[in-house]
Copies of this chain bind each other. A is one copy, B any other.
Amino acid sequence: MNFASDNWAGAMDPVMEALARHNTGIAPAYGADPLTESVTRQFCDLFERDVAVFFVATGSAANALALSAYAKPGGAIFCHPDAHIQVDECGCPEFMTGGGKLVSVPGPAGKMRASDLWDAIAAFPDGVVHHGQVAAVSVTQATESGTVYQLKEIQALKHVAASRGVPLHMDGARFANAVVSLGVSPADMTWKSGVDVVSFGATKNGCWCAEAVVFFDLEAARGFEYLRKRAGHLFSKSRFVAAQFDGYLRNEAWLTSAEHANAMARQLAVGIQRAGGRFPWPVEANELFPVLRRSTFERLQAAGARFYEWPAKSLSAEDAPGPDEVMVRMVTSFATPPADVDAFLAHVAA
């Protein structure tokens, strides 16, 4: 019953098989190999247009490097206060952008609202040197609250970004879970809704280490290879990342994997709700944040369930846990056994 995180799993079979399959012979280093070329074409097919694809080692690197392509002196990047770039990357975006500032735009359920973004961005008027300059807007899809931006919400944020001539970045560490949740195409969720660059994460959803920065803004992609190399993120045996993506994308393995994770999360949500747990935020991807009775929480821990108590400070007073309650975070993945879900729910209902 391990719901600690989706990065506690290993790699799924199609990825392992692809790694073995492509580990033969000699191939040029640094991404000049035929497999990397082939995977790049798969990305173009996936997004139904030309894209520029760059592999990097981690999701943090993908985010920070993507944003660094738009860095400006005194640059301000707007994101939700719970965004991974704001909370969980140890200053990597600030470092890679040469000292950018991440401006928090709070909003319910882990999402920025366009009207709030509008207000926040207005504090950085063009031409006022003291406050710095607007550099980018970044959304997390799926969000850190387990919710998913609707296409209209993304488009509304893009509208604000575009009004100031800055790009919209998407942190897609859980890109697959969001696509599956919305039932839209990758193209719909990205460039057709105004996204300029996406951190396309595959690690959480079944790879060992496969993250890509995918640019729709091909102009901004020029020179990106230097940003990546300068940060030590150009793999010499780059084809082993390509191999993972090959296994991941082929036969829609990535969608199958995310569907499973999302289904496990939904099933948990239904069961927990039925047993009296409540959810401040809807469960729309593979993370869920139930508020449980403390006694239930302790019973589950005693039974060996792994998951984290979670700070609830962004909740309104009426949603916040009461004195006998606790909010927790649970994460499902491609590797979550249905039996674990059943076992967990049995303990909840006990």
- A residues with a Cβ closer than 8 A to B are 2, 4-5, 7-11, 16, 19-20, 22-30, 56-62, 64-65, 72-75, 87-92, 94-102, 129-133, 203-204, 208-209, 223, 225-227, 229-237, 239-240, 335
- So how many copies of this chain end up in the complex? 4
Q: Are B88 and A95 in contact (CB under 8 A)?
A: no
Assembly CA distance A91 to B62 (angstroms): 19
Q: In the bound complex, do residue A91 and residue B132 qualify as a contact, i.e. CB atoms below 8 Å apart?
A: yes
A162 to B20, CA, bound (A): 47
Q: How close is A20's CB to chain B, nearest CB, in angstroms?
A: 7
Chain B residues with CB under 8 A of A16: 19-20, 23
> A60's closest neighbor in chain B, by CB?
B232
Q: Given known contacts A232-B65, A233-B58, is B226 in contact with A132 (CB within 8 Å)? A: yes
Contact call B87/A130, Cβ cutoff below 8 A = yes
B61 and A90 contacting across the interface, CB-CB below 8 Å: no
12 A-B pairs within 8 Å (CB atoms) are namely A2-B26, A4-B28, A7-B29, A7-B236, A8-B27, A10-B26, A57-B209, A58-B235, A61-B231, A99-B100, A132-B226, A208-B237
Residues of B within 8 A of A234 (CB): 58, 60, 129
Does the CB pair B235–A232 fall under 8 Å? no
Whether B223 pairs with A235 at a CB distance below 8 angstroms is no
* Shortest Cβ distance from residue A72 to the other chain B in the assembled complex, whole angstroms: 7
Who on chain B is nearest to A76 by CB? B91
- Taking CB atoms, residues of chain B closer than 8 Å to A65 are 232
- Nearest B residue (CB) for A63: B232
Contacts of A25 in B (CB 8 A): 10
